[in-house]
Amino acid sequence: MATLKHISSKNSDYSAIEAYLIYQHDAFTGKQLLDEQGKPKLRESYILDTFECGDFSFATACLLANRKYGKNNHPEDIKSHQYIISFDPRDAADNGLTMEKAQALGLKFCSGNFPGHPAIVCTHPDGHNHSGNIHVHIVIGSIRTREVERKPFMQKPRDWREGMKHSSTAQTMRHLRVEVMELCEGAGLYQIDLLNGSKERVSEAEYWARRRGQQKLNLANAALTAAGQPPQQKKFETVKDTLRKQISSVLYRTVSLEDFSDRLMQQYGIAVKESRGQLSYLPSGRTKFIRAKHLGDKFDKAAVLVTLQANTERKPKVQFKQDAIGKLIDIQSRLTEGKGIGYKRWITKHNLKVIAQTVKLLQEKGLTDEDALNQRIA
Protein backbone atom coordinates (compact mmCIF):
# COMPACT_ATOMS: atom_id res chain seq x y z
CA MET A 1 0.00 0.00 0.00
CA ALA A 2 1.61 3.24 -1.10
CA THR A 3 1.08 6.26 1.12
CA LEU A 4 1.58 9.97 0.49
CA LYS A 5 2.99 12.43 3.02
CA HIS A 6 3.46 16.19 2.66
CA ILE A 7 5.96 18.38 4.54
CA SER A 8 6.37 22.12 3.99
CA SER A 9 9.64 23.84 4.90
CA LYS A 10 10.57 27.44 5.78
CA ASN A 11 14.30 26.66 5.64
CA SER A 12 16.05 29.03 3.22
CA ASP A 13 19.11 26.73 3.00
CA TYR A 14 18.06 24.72 -0.04
CA SER A 15 21.37 22.85 -0.10
CA ALA A 16 20.45 21.27 3.26
CA ILE A 17 17.60 19.44 1.52
CA GLU A 18 19.93 17.72 -0.93
CA ALA A 19 22.42 17.00 1.86
CA TYR A 20 19.68 15.23 3.84
CA LEU A 21 18.79 13.08 0.85
CA ILE A 22 22.32 11.89 0.02
CA TYR A 23 24.08 11.81 3.42
CA GLN A 24 23.38 9.74 6.53
CA HIS A 25 21.73 11.57 9.42
CA ASP A 26 20.97 10.74 13.03
CA ALA A 27 17.29 9.79 13.16
CA PHE A 28 16.64 11.80 16.34
CA THR A 29 18.92 14.84 16.22
CA GLY A 30 18.93 15.29 12.42
CA LYS A 31 22.70 15.88 12.46
CA GLN A 32 24.92 14.47 9.72
CA LEU A 33 26.91 11.35 10.61
CA LEU A 34 30.67 11.66 10.03
CA ASP A 35 33.27 9.07 9.10
CA GLU A 36 36.71 8.58 10.66
CA GLN A 37 38.09 11.56 8.67
CA GLY A 38 35.26 13.82 9.87
CA LYS A 39 33.56 13.86 6.47
CA PRO A 40 29.80 13.33 5.98
CA LYS A 41 28.91 9.69 5.35
CA LEU A 42 27.00 9.00 2.13
CA ARG A 43 23.85 6.91 2.29
CA GLU A 44 24.49 3.31 1.32
CA SER A 45 22.08 3.52 -1.60
CA TYR A 46 20.04 6.22 -3.32
CA ILE A 47 19.02 7.48 -6.77
CA LEU A 48 18.73 11.24 -7.29
CA ASP A 49 17.63 13.36 -10.25
CA THR A 50 16.86 17.07 -10.58
CA PHE A 51 13.88 18.37 -12.55
CA GLU A 52 13.27 21.79 -14.14
CA CYS A 53 16.61 23.10 -12.79
CA GLY A 54 18.33 23.68 -16.15
CA ASP A 55 22.12 23.75 -15.82
CA PHE A 56 21.92 24.71 -12.15
CA SER A 57 21.71 22.75 -8.92
CA PHE A 58 18.36 22.58 -7.15
CA ALA A 59 19.51 25.10 -4.53
CA THR A 60 20.74 27.59 -7.13
CA ALA A 61 17.59 27.24 -9.24
CA CYS A 62 15.42 28.00 -6.20
CA LEU A 63 17.51 31.00 -5.13
CA LEU A 64 17.41 32.44 -8.65
CA ALA A 65 13.62 32.04 -8.71
CA ASN A 66 13.31 33.83 -5.37
CA ARG A 67 15.42 36.73 -6.64
CA LYS A 68 13.67 36.96 -10.01
CA TYR A 69 10.15 37.12 -8.56
CA GLY A 70 11.00 38.89 -5.30
CA LYS A 71 9.49 36.24 -3.06
CA ASN A 72 10.46 34.04 -0.09
CA ASN A 73 12.31 36.90 1.61
CA HIS A 74 10.54 36.51 4.96
CA PRO A 75 11.52 33.84 7.52
CA GLU A 76 7.88 32.70 7.74
CA ASP A 77 7.55 32.13 3.98
CA ILE A 78 7.33 28.51 2.87
CA LYS A 79 10.42 27.93 0.73
CA SER A 80 9.85 24.35 -0.41
CA HIS A 81 7.41 21.45 -0.30
CA GLN A 82 8.28 17.79 0.09
CA TYR A 83 6.01 14.93 -0.95
CA ILE A 84 7.02 11.39 0.05
CA ILE A 85 5.56 8.35 -1.69
CA SER A 86 6.20 5.22 0.42
CA PHE A 87 5.52 1.91 -1.30
CA ASP A 88 4.37 -1.31 0.35
CA PRO A 89 7.36 -3.41 1.59
CA ARG A 90 5.81 -6.43 -0.18
CA ASP A 91 6.01 -4.73 -3.58
CA ALA A 92 9.72 -5.59 -4.00
CA ALA A 93 9.23 -9.35 -3.64
CA ASP A 94 5.69 -9.73 -4.99
CA ASN A 95 5.52 -7.12 -7.76
CA GLY A 96 9.12 -6.61 -8.82
CA LEU A 97 9.49 -3.05 -7.51
CA THR A 98 13.09 -1.85 -7.70
CA MET A 99 14.66 1.48 -6.78
CA GLU A 100 15.02 2.27 -10.51
CA LYS A 101 11.34 1.58 -11.13
CA ALA A 102 10.33 3.64 -8.08
CA GLN A 103 12.52 6.53 -9.27
CA ALA A 104 10.87 6.41 -12.70
CA LEU A 105 7.42 6.50 -11.05
CA GLY A 106 8.53 9.44 -8.91
CA LEU A 107 9.75 11.40 -11.93
CA LYS A 108 6.46 10.70 -13.71
CA PHE A 109 4.49 11.87 -10.67
CA CYS A 110 6.64 15.03 -10.37
CA SER A 111 6.39 16.04 -14.04
CA GLY A 112 2.64 15.46 -14.12
CA ASN A 113 1.77 17.34 -10.96
CA PHE A 114 4.49 19.97 -10.38
CA PRO A 115 5.43 21.29 -13.85
CA GLY A 116 7.46 24.51 -13.80
CA HIS A 117 8.85 23.97 -10.28
CA PRO A 118 12.55 23.25 -9.69
CA ALA A 119 12.59 19.83 -8.06
CA ILE A 120 14.66 16.97 -6.68
CA VAL A 121 13.42 13.39 -7.01
CA CYS A 122 15.31 10.94 -4.80
CA THR A 123 14.61 7.27 -4.03
CA HIS A 124 15.76 5.44 -0.88
CA PRO A 125 15.57 1.66 -0.32
CA ASP A 126 14.29 1.78 3.27
CA GLY A 127 12.79 4.08 5.90
CA HIS A 128 13.45 4.86 9.56
CA ASN A 129 11.32 1.92 10.70
CA HIS A 130 13.48 -0.51 8.67
CA SER A 131 10.47 -2.30 7.19
CA GLY A 132 12.08 -2.44 3.74
CA ASN A 133 9.71 0.04 2.12
CA ILE A 134 11.15 1.71 -0.96
CA HIS A 135 10.14 5.37 -0.95
CA VAL A 136 10.55 8.45 -3.14
CA HIS A 137 11.19 12.01 -1.94
CA ILE A 138 9.90 14.72 -4.28
CA VAL A 139 11.08 18.16 -3.14
CA ILE A 140 9.91 21.22 -5.10
CA GLY A 141 10.84 24.87 -4.84
CA SER A 142 7.71 26.79 -3.89
CA ILE A 143 7.84 29.18 -6.92
CA ARG A 144 6.84 28.15 -10.45
CA THR A 145 9.44 29.45 -12.90
CA ARG A 146 7.37 29.18 -16.08
CA GLU A 147 3.73 29.21 -17.08
CA VAL A 148 2.36 25.74 -17.80
CA GLU A 149 -0.63 24.34 -19.62
CA ARG A 150 -3.69 24.39 -17.42
CA LYS A 151 -4.84 20.88 -16.52
CA PRO A 152 -8.26 19.77 -15.18
CA PHE A 153 -7.02 19.52 -11.58
CA MET A 154 -5.73 23.10 -11.62
CA GLN A 155 -8.36 25.35 -10.03
CA LYS A 156 -6.68 28.73 -9.44
CA PRO A 157 -4.17 30.85 -11.41
CA ARG A 158 -1.44 29.98 -8.90
CA ASP A 159 -1.65 26.41 -10.20
CA TRP A 160 -0.37 27.27 -13.68
CA ARG A 161 0.97 30.86 -13.84
CA GLU A 162 4.64 31.83 -13.77
CA GLY A 163 5.99 33.37 -10.57
CA MET A 164 3.18 31.98 -8.39
CA LYS A 165 3.74 29.90 -5.26
CA HIS A 166 2.58 26.31 -4.80
CA SER A 167 -0.06 25.76 -2.11
CA SER A 168 -0.80 22.34 -0.65
CA THR A 169 -4.54 22.67 0.03
CA ALA A 170 -6.99 19.93 0.99
CA GLN A 171 -8.16 19.85 -2.63
CA THR A 172 -4.57 19.54 -3.85
CA MET A 173 -3.87 16.65 -1.47
CA ARG A 174 -7.03 14.86 -2.56
CA HIS A 175 -5.94 15.10 -6.21
CA LEU A 176 -2.41 13.89 -5.38
CA ARG A 177 -3.74 10.91 -3.40
CA VAL A 178 -5.83 9.91 -6.41
CA GLU A 179 -2.71 10.25 -8.57
CA VAL A 180 -0.75 7.93 -6.25
CA MET A 181 -3.54 5.36 -6.32
CA GLU A 182 -3.69 5.43 -10.12
CA LEU A 183 0.11 5.35 -10.35
CA CYS A 184 0.27 2.15 -8.28
CA GLU A 185 -2.64 0.57 -10.10
CA GLY A 186 -0.98 1.20 -13.45
CA ALA A 187 2.31 -0.25 -12.17
CA GLY A 188 0.65 -3.31 -10.65
CA LEU A 189 1.60 -2.44 -7.07
CA TYR A 190 -0.28 -2.88 -3.80
CA GLN A 191 -2.55 0.02 -2.95
CA ILE A 192 -5.24 1.08 -0.47
CA ASP A 193 -7.93 3.75 -0.64
CA LEU A 194 -6.21 6.99 0.41
CA LEU A 195 -9.39 9.10 0.25
CA ASN A 196 -11.28 7.76 3.24
CA GLY A 197 -8.78 9.05 5.76
CA SER A 198 -7.42 7.43 8.89
CA LYS A 199 -9.25 6.77 12.14
CA GLU A 200 -6.15 7.92 14.00
CA ARG A 201 -3.83 10.32 12.14
CA VAL A 202 -0.19 10.75 13.19
CA SER A 203 1.76 13.72 11.79
CA GLU A 204 5.46 13.73 11.00
CA ALA A 205 6.14 15.85 14.09
CA GLU A 206 4.19 13.50 16.37
CA TYR A 207 5.90 10.44 14.86
CA TRP A 208 9.31 11.83 15.80
CA ALA A 209 8.08 13.00 19.20
CA ARG A 210 7.01 9.42 19.87
CA ARG A 211 10.39 8.01 18.83
CA ARG A 212 12.40 10.53 20.84
CA GLY A 213 10.15 10.09 23.87
CA GLN A 214 10.36 6.29 23.68
CA GLN A 215 14.15 6.45 23.43
CA LYS A 216 14.39 8.63 26.57
CA LEU A 217 11.91 6.37 28.40
CA ASN A 218 13.90 3.25 27.48
CA LEU A 219 17.09 4.82 28.85
CA ALA A 220 15.33 5.85 32.05
CA ASN A 221 13.83 2.36 32.47
CA ALA A 222 17.21 0.75 31.90
CA ALA A 223 18.63 2.86 34.72
CA LEU A 224 15.75 1.87 37.02
CA THR A 225 16.19 -1.81 36.20
CA ALA A 226 19.91 -1.60 36.90
CA ALA A 227 19.06 -0.08 40.29
CA GLY A 228 16.64 -2.93 41.02
CA GLN A 229 13.50 -0.81 40.61
CA PRO A 230 10.63 -1.90 38.32
CA PRO A 231 9.73 0.62 35.55
CA GLN A 232 6.31 2.17 35.98
CA GLN A 233 5.76 3.00 32.29
CA LYS A 234 7.07 1.08 29.28
CA LYS A 235 5.34 2.82 26.37
CA PHE A 236 5.73 6.56 25.77
CA GLU A 237 2.61 8.55 24.89
CA THR A 238 2.42 11.97 23.29
CA VAL A 239 -0.16 14.56 24.37
CA LYS A 240 -2.23 13.55 21.35
CA ASP A 241 -1.96 9.84 22.21
CA THR A 242 -3.32 10.52 25.69
CA LEU A 243 -6.02 12.80 24.29
CA ARG A 244 -7.18 10.12 21.83
CA LYS A 245 -7.50 7.55 24.63
CA GLN A 246 -9.41 9.93 26.91
CA ILE A 247 -11.82 11.01 24.17
CA SER A 248 -12.45 7.39 23.17
CA SER A 249 -13.15 6.32 26.77
CA VAL A 250 -15.90 8.95 27.02
CA LEU A 251 -17.22 8.76 23.46
CA TYR A 252 -18.54 5.21 23.75
CA ARG A 253 -20.39 5.92 27.02
CA THR A 254 -22.37 9.02 26.01
CA VAL A 255 -25.47 9.55 23.89
CA SER A 256 -25.43 13.26 23.00
CA LEU A 257 -22.87 15.88 21.99
CA GLU A 258 -23.68 17.87 25.13
CA ASP A 259 -23.21 14.83 27.36
CA PHE A 260 -19.98 13.98 25.51
CA SER A 261 -18.61 17.50 26.04
CA ASP A 262 -19.61 17.66 29.72
CA ARG A 263 -18.11 14.29 30.61
CA LEU A 264 -14.80 15.10 28.91
CA MET A 265 -14.56 18.23 31.02
CA GLN A 266 -15.64 16.57 34.27
CA GLN A 267 -13.39 13.51 33.95
CA TYR A 268 -10.31 14.86 32.19
CA GLY A 269 -10.61 18.66 32.06
CA ILE A 270 -10.86 18.56 28.24
CA ALA A 271 -12.84 21.39 26.63
CA VAL A 272 -14.69 20.79 23.35
CA LYS A 273 -15.27 23.60 20.85
CA GLU A 274 -17.22 23.57 17.60
CA SER A 275 -16.32 26.02 14.83
CA ARG A 276 -17.60 25.91 11.26
CA GLY A 277 -18.88 22.39 11.76
CA GLN A 278 -15.51 21.12 13.04
CA LEU A 279 -14.63 19.97 16.55
CA SER A 280 -11.50 20.98 18.46
CA TYR A 281 -10.25 19.74 21.83
CA LEU A 282 -8.34 21.58 24.56
CA PRO A 283 -6.57 19.29 27.09
CA SER A 284 -5.97 20.58 30.59
CA GLY A 285 -2.79 22.62 30.85
CA ARG A 286 -2.80 23.78 27.21
CA THR A 287 -3.88 27.15 25.81
CA LYS A 288 -4.30 26.10 22.17
CA PHE A 289 -7.05 23.82 20.89
CA ILE A 290 -6.14 20.68 18.90
CA ARG A 291 -8.34 20.22 15.85
CA ALA A 292 -10.02 16.86 15.35
CA LYS A 293 -8.42 16.39 11.92
CA HIS A 294 -4.99 16.30 13.61
CA LEU A 295 -6.14 13.41 15.83
CA GLY A 296 -7.94 11.28 13.24
CA ASP A 297 -11.26 10.93 11.45
CA LYS A 298 -12.97 9.11 14.34
CA PHE A 299 -12.77 12.32 16.39
CA ASP A 300 -14.41 14.74 13.92
CA LYS A 301 -18.01 15.86 14.33
CA ALA A 302 -19.54 13.57 11.73
CA ALA A 303 -17.92 10.44 13.16
CA VAL A 304 -18.67 11.47 16.76
CA LEU A 305 -22.36 12.00 15.94
CA VAL A 306 -22.54 8.57 14.27
CA THR A 307 -21.07 6.94 17.38
CA LEU A 308 -23.41 8.85 19.71
CA GLN A 309 -26.41 7.79 17.63
CA ALA A 310 -25.28 4.18 17.83
CA ASN A 311 -24.93 4.52 21.61
CA THR A 312 -28.46 5.92 21.81
CA GLU A 313 -29.90 2.98 19.90
CA ARG A 314 -27.96 0.50 22.02
CA LYS A 315 -28.81 1.93 25.45
CA PRO A 316 -32.35 2.04 26.93
CA LYS A 317 -33.81 5.51 27.32
CA VAL A 318 -33.99 6.76 30.90
CA GLN A 319 -36.36 9.53 31.90
CA PHE A 320 -34.69 11.99 34.26
CA LYS A 321 -36.49 14.68 36.24
CA GLN A 322 -34.69 17.39 38.15
CA ASP A 323 -36.17 17.26 41.68
CA ALA A 324 -33.48 19.03 43.66
CA ILE A 325 -31.85 22.43 43.61
CA GLY A 326 -28.38 22.17 42.08
CA LYS A 327 -25.28 23.78 43.49
CA LEU A 328 -23.32 26.54 41.79
CA ILE A 329 -19.57 26.17 41.47
CA ASP A 330 -17.32 29.01 42.63
CA ILE A 331 -15.39 29.85 39.45
CA GLN A 332 -12.64 31.89 41.10
CA SER A 333 -11.80 29.27 43.71
CA ARG A 334 -11.50 26.58 41.03
CA LEU A 335 -9.29 28.73 38.82
CA THR A 336 -6.90 29.29 41.73
CA GLU A 337 -6.49 25.49 41.81
CA GLY A 338 -4.79 25.70 38.42
CA LYS A 339 -7.73 24.80 36.19
CA GLY A 340 -7.46 25.96 32.58
CA ILE A 341 -9.59 28.30 30.48
CA GLY A 342 -11.52 25.32 29.14
CA TYR A 343 -12.60 24.45 32.69
CA LYS A 344 -13.73 28.05 33.23
CA ARG A 345 -15.90 27.81 30.11
CA TRP A 346 -17.44 24.57 31.34
CA ILE A 347 -18.15 25.94 34.87
CA THR A 348 -19.92 28.97 33.37
CA LYS A 349 -22.08 26.70 31.24
CA HIS A 350 -22.73 24.38 34.21
CA ASN A 351 -23.81 27.24 36.46
CA LEU A 352 -26.24 28.55 33.82
CA LYS A 353 -27.82 25.08 33.61
CA VAL A 354 -28.14 24.87 37.39
CA ILE A 355 -29.78 28.31 37.54
CA ALA A 356 -32.23 27.37 34.78
CA GLN A 357 -33.09 24.02 36.43
CA THR A 358 -33.57 25.70 39.80
CA VAL A 359 -35.90 28.39 38.39
CA LYS A 360 -37.92 25.68 36.61
CA LEU A 361 -38.22 23.65 39.83
CA LEU A 362 -39.33 26.70 41.85
CA GLN A 363 -41.96 27.50 39.21
CA GLU A 364 -43.30 23.93 39.27
CA LYS A 365 -43.55 24.00 43.07
CA GLY A 366 -45.15 27.46 43.14
CA LEU A 367 -42.27 28.92 45.16
CA THR A 368 -41.28 31.92 43.06
CA ASP A 369 -42.72 34.27 45.72
CA GLU A 370 -40.12 35.03 48.40
CA ASP A 371 -42.64 34.90 51.30
CA ALA A 372 -43.97 31.54 50.13
CA LEU A 373 -40.43 30.22 49.81
CA ASN A 374 -39.48 31.41 53.33
CA GLN A 375 -42.61 29.83 54.74
CA ARG A 376 -41.81 26.52 53.02
CA ILE A 377 -38.23 26.63 54.34
CA ALA A 378 -39.49 27.28 57.89
Distance of CA 40 to the CA centre of its chain: 32
Question: Which neighbouring-strand residues pair with 143?
Answer: 165
Structural domain boundaries in the chain:
3-196, 205-318, 333-377
Query: What's the distance, Cα to Cα, between the start and end of the chain in Å?
Result: 75
The H or E element containing residue 240 is helix 239-251
- For the segment 194-247, what is each residue's pLDDT rounded down to a tens digit? 776 666 777 778 887 888 888 899 999 999 999 999 988 888 999 999 999 999
DSSP string, 35-85: -TTSPBPBPSS-EEEEES-TTS-HHHHHHHHHHHHT---STTS--EEEEEE
E strand segments, the chain: 3-9, 47-51, 80-86, 119-124, 135-141, 271-275, 278-282, 290-291
What digits encode the pLDDT tens for the residues 266-323?
A: 888 899 999 988 999 999 888 899 999 899 888 999 999 999 998 888 765 544 455 5
| Residue 96, burial from CB neighbour count under 10 angstroms (0-12, 13-18, 19+) | exposed
**Residue 269 half-sphere exposure, CB side, CA atoms within 13 Å?**
15
pTM of the model: 0.66
- State the pLDDT at residue 340: 62
Q: Which fold has domain 3-196?
A: BirA Bifunctional Protein; domain 2 (3.30.930)
| Structural contact between residues 167 and 141, judged by C-beta atoms closer than 8 angstroms | no
Per residue in 66-101, pLDDT tens? 999 999 999 999 999 999 999 999 999 999 999 999
